[in-house]
Structure 1
């Protein structure tokens, strides 16, 4: 009997499946889905802000509902602006900002417009990414650096966000703190306050890439994650 089954199975496998004569079930996925935001207490905008060299930087702007003459709180980051402003899915501002580097209680209580931007070369932004882009000078012959990118960003924000009062503050921890410091090299007149917290400043002497000049192998995974691809 076993031998008979061996010879029979290939024959059965060649029998074509019967054609379906029944109506297809309707899909539960809509052809197009659009989130209804009328009840949200904030408006989310994603824009591409042009820099002086033509590169456009992806920027998330969160405006509290009903905001008028509100200050802007800006953070520039290599850590994904969209993710840093989407910690939760909610119609309320507080939950979406409950996470790293956001000072959510201050933003919500005082009605700040929250702006988070991908630095050039990372995530949604155009351009090339350098782990620590030098300031314009002997080590950077280009006309752009983090200082100019911040200046150009602030200049665009105060001219294109009608709900703002034209005043900008900056906030950042660690690498984002380094970017906040860079804004102070050539500060835009609209930049009124900068809060760099635990900023990465001297990677050669400090405890980031090196310790007094000795390379720290434990930083290799971070370097890999940051430089492997644009979206990492």
Structure 2
């Protein structure tokens, strides 16, 4: 059990900005959730859910799902659990999964920390992805950032040996904080030869937002740590 000192249970790393659902997103939620959605209140055997034993990766906060759908299409031998609290993004990903006829993705619309704690078995994940999380830029809100010591303890419980955690951020200060926190976790090892940031691996697609930022000269920092 994570302590309130390391990872305060009452503090959320997200705000539910539901936004307006398009007709297509609402239709997908109404008709495709039964195919791809998972109930956060029920334990499941992921090998039964996917009908096979395959490497399992979790993406925390997949946004509109574009990157997750691309990864799943490019890596059919890997199963993915996407976790997102915003229903428009969930609806958009459902549309993409049906359009691409992808069978290796399932979705939770819930708090990722609760899903990891309660529904994901220990030592079961090959990878955990956290791409462009909310940076909470104001200093008084830094405590809401998801990457904290308690989170790294949770990662180490859920990852298999040699499993990896991959984070990416376009906020340098947050990237620096993540690097410090992850480096302090003795059960994680930085995959970067220079012990800082990694080049973007081919499996992480460039998002439209990221491409726009790069054209404007904005930096992006990728961190990859493996469980010892």
- TM-score w.r.t. length of structure 1: 0.32
- TM-score w.r.t. length of structure 2: 0.32
**Greater strand share, 1 or 2?**
1
Structure of greater Rg: 1
**Greater helix share, 1 or 2?**
2
